Amino acid sequence: MLDHVAAIRSESDAFYDAAAKADPDARVPSCPEWSVRDLVLHLAQVQYFWGALVSHGITDLAQFNELEHPTPPDDYQALVALGREMAERMASTLETTDQSAEVWSWSSQHDVAFVTRHQVQEVAIHRWDLENASGGASDIASEVADDSIDEFLRVSLPSRDDWKRGMDIVHLHTTDTNRDWLLEPSGTVEDRGGSADVTLSASASDLLLALYRRVPMDGIDAVLGGLAFS
């Protein structure tokens, strides 16, 4: 079983290590409206948000708005340092908090376990974004990508209010972890292959990146229905 907190720490370290050496004004091709500085600020804010949400046991966003929030520094290296601090604070909080404790979330799963699992793909995808903007991104580890695909299909995608399943049956297969998912028109997900209208087969890393529209893959619209994920 994937150690989600360890994965968050590993991917966060890689993200902020790359950020410290990157040009803050460089554009991020996979997030075209953002510069590297914008991407670093985004992840620091995301990790602060979920860390604070869990540490304060927030079940209503109005409670979060009442907190005193840190002001992002203008200096880029200070922003990177703040990001590192937010990442470790979130990881430590997730590591020591009851995973069944209730917290607010945008998904149908309102507990700390959702935060812990989902934040792995949040930082892994953005680590890839940052490295890609700096000239070359390494793959997402197979175990991390495999678990993230499963969460994406079972929790993240169905939680989108604007997601409408088409009539296609979609089979997803990872060539490195040998995992299969079958998506039915109803939105149900089964752990198997089978007859499908669309089959997507790739490494776990490439398949996850395609689901997040970072790399192209024929047929991905059958899964996402036109949605975009940042």
Instruction: State the pLDDT confidence band at 34, using cuts at 50, 70 and 90.
Output: very high
Of 205 and 228, the one with more pLDDT: 205
Residue 159 located in a structural domain: yes
Amino acid (1-letter code) at residue 1: M
Return the residue matching tokens 């953002």: 34
Instruction: State the pLDDT confidence band at 186, using cuts at 50, 70 and 90.
Output: confident
**CA-to-CA dists, residue 164 to 32, 118, 167, 210, 222, angstroms:** 26, 22, 10, 19, 10
Say if residue 147 is in the same domain as residue 128: no
pLDDT at residue 93, rounded to an integer:
98
CA 30/CA 129 separation, integer angstroms: 6
Say if residue 9 is in the same domain as residue 77: yes
CATH number at 179 reads 3.30.1050.10
Show Cβ contacts of residue 128 under 8 Å, excluding neighbours closer than 6 positions. Answer: 30, 137, 138, 140, 209, 214
Residue 230 located in a structural domain: no
Query: pLDDT tens digits, residue range 148-174?
Result: 999 999 999 888 877 666 668 999 999
The helix or strand, by DSSP H or E, that contains position 80, with its residue range, turns out to be helix 76-96
Say if residue 54 is in the same domain as residue 168: no
Q: What domain range is 168 assigned to?
A: 143-224
Q: How many CA atoms lie within 13 A of 34 on its CB side?
A: 17
Say if residue 153 is in the same domain as residue 79: no
Say if residue 58 is in the same domain as residue 110: yes
SS (H, E, C) 8-70: HHHHHHHHHHHHHHCCCCCECCCCCCCEHHHHHHHHHHHHHHHHHHHHCCCCCHHHHHCCCCC
Domain final residue pick, 87, 112, 133: 133
* Confidence check: pLDDT of 109 > 80: yes
Q: What is the largest CA-CA distance in the chain?
A: 54
Say if residue 151 is in the same domain as residue 219: yes
* Confidence check: pLDDT of 59 > 90: yes
Domain final residue pick, 133, 160, 189: 133
pLDDT at residue 167, rounded to an integer:
62
Q: 127 exposed, middle or buried (CB, 10 Å; 0-12, 13-18, 19+)? A: buried
Length of the chain measured in residues: 230
Amino acid (1-letter code) at residue 108: S
CA 88/CA 98 separation, integer angstroms: 18
Say if residue 24 is in the same domain as residue 123: yes
CATH number at 12 reads 1.20.120.450
Say if residue 80 is in the same domain as residue 188: no
